[in-house]
């Protein structure tokens, strides 16, 4: 599952249950249908298939409860709290805090979208961790850097105790995580506040560039890989007149230009073999290793996985990626706590 080299292109089609395959195709088609030629979005159409769910103050069967919080007049966060982690000797360890950014090309979905609510719930239970899912402003109504600004504000709010909803503790390590466009946001927020972050988890992060990569050409017909759709999303998000060479999109090139001047937290990058964006994700991991001086860069490969596979709980790879994330977060959290104890000794 984990690899440091680029795997060969997979043959045939990704192994998906037929119901999942139909759902992925339908969502991809409806996403594209909601994008208008004038650069606006048909949000009424989006609402027909983007099912939302309310928070649950009463713990679910996995012991996770959730609540919605206003950070500002335009920014909300859904907070997921699991049962307390047991240290094994009867004492309680402070839970790691994971600030999460949902995917959707900077344009679609919210923290209340059913798939992302379920994903954050699974993360909270499996790590276990407190998960703060950020309802950042969407493009094209709110272009770059609105999502990054919202991400930074939400991170600062969560680290300060989430308005009293979280205990503040110097022994609580903080992680940033996100999928697809949310992974892009997590990277840029981490770059702003790297000294406060114990680790970064990116699930198939969405990066771009002026020239298509081999995987983008090979998988242009895959769900969420159509070149016209990708071009539309970047125009919707980037500043007016910017190209995909902008540092918000071509992150690997921006890291390489910055070089060793940019310290970065330990990073886990999860890559799917059927994801059109995989070449840029591997390039990002290489750029961090070669230029940015990150403490650790771990690349987890899922050769049979398409884009957004992690939201489909029925897939074996969706369960495996949660195990990868839990192992990474808990290992880095334990190291953080050891360092905290040493500094106070």
- Return the HEC string of 70-122: ECCCCCEEEEEECCCCECCCCCECCCCEEEEECCCCCCCCCCCEHHHHHHHHH
| Neighbouring-strand partners of residue 65 | 81
Summarised one tens digit per residue, pLDDT across range 288-318 is 998 756 679 999 999 999 999 999 999 999 9
State the pLDDT at residue 17: 72
Query: Taking the model in full, what pTM does it have?
Result: 0.93
Candidate list 28, 34, 113, 180, residue with the active-site label: 180
- Is 180 catalytic? The answer is yes
Contact by Cβ (8 Å): 180, 281: no
pLDDT category, 12, cuts 50, 70, 90? Answer: low
Q: Chain-wide mean pLDDT for the chain?
A: 89
pLDDT category, 240, cuts 50, 70, 90? Answer: very high
Q: What domains lie within the chain, and their CATH numbers?
A: 63-82+94-343 (3.40.50.1820)
Contacts of residue 257, Cβ cutoff 8 Å, sequence gap at least 6: none
pLDDT category, 28, cuts 50, 70, 90? Answer: confident
Sign of torsion, CA 200 203 208 211?
positive
């Amino acid at each position: 599952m984990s690899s440091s080299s680029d795997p060969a292109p997979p043959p045939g089609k990704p192994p998906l249950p037929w119901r999942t395959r139909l759902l992925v195709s339908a969502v991809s088609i409806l996403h594209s249908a909601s994008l208008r030629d004038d650069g606006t979005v048909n949000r009424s159409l989006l609402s027909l298939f983007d099912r939302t769910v309310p928070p649950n103050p009463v713990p679910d069967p996995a012991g996770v409860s959730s609540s919605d919080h206003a950070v500002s007049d335009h920014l909300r966060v859904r907070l997921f709290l699991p049962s307390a982690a047991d240290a094994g000797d009867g004492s309680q360890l402070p839970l790691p805090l994971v600030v999460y950014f949902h995917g959707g090309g900077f344009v679609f979905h919210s923290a209340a979208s059913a798939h992302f609510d379920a994903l954050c719930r699974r993360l909270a239970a499996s790590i276990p961790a407190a998960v703060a899912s950020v309802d950042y402003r969407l493009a094209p109504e709110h272009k770059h850097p609105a999502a990054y600004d919202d991400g930074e504000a939400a991170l600062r709010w969560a680290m300060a105790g989430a308005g009293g909803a979280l205990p503040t503790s110097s022994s609580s390590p903080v992680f940033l995580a996100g999928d697809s466009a949310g992974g892009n946001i997590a990277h840029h927020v981490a770059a702003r506040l790297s000294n406060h972050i114990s680790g970064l988890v990116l699930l198939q992060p969405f990066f771009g560039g002026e020239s298509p990569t081999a995987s983008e050409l090979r998988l242009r017909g895959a769900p969420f890989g159509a070149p016209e759709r990708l071009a539309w999303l970047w125009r919707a998000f980037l500043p007016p007149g910017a190209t995909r060479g902008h540092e918000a999109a071509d992150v690997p090139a921006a890291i390489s230009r910055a070089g060793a001047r940019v310290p970065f937290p330990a990073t886990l990058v999860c890559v799917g073999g059927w994801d059109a964006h995989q070449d840029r994700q591997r390039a990002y991991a290489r750029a961090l290793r070669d230029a940015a001086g990150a403490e650790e860069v771990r690349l987890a490969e899922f050769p049979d996985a398409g884009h957004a596979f992690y939201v489909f709980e029925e897939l074996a790879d969706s369960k495996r990626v949660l195990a990868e994330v839990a192992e990474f977060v808990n290992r880095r959290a334990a190291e953080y706590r050891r360092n905290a104890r040493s500094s106070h000794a």
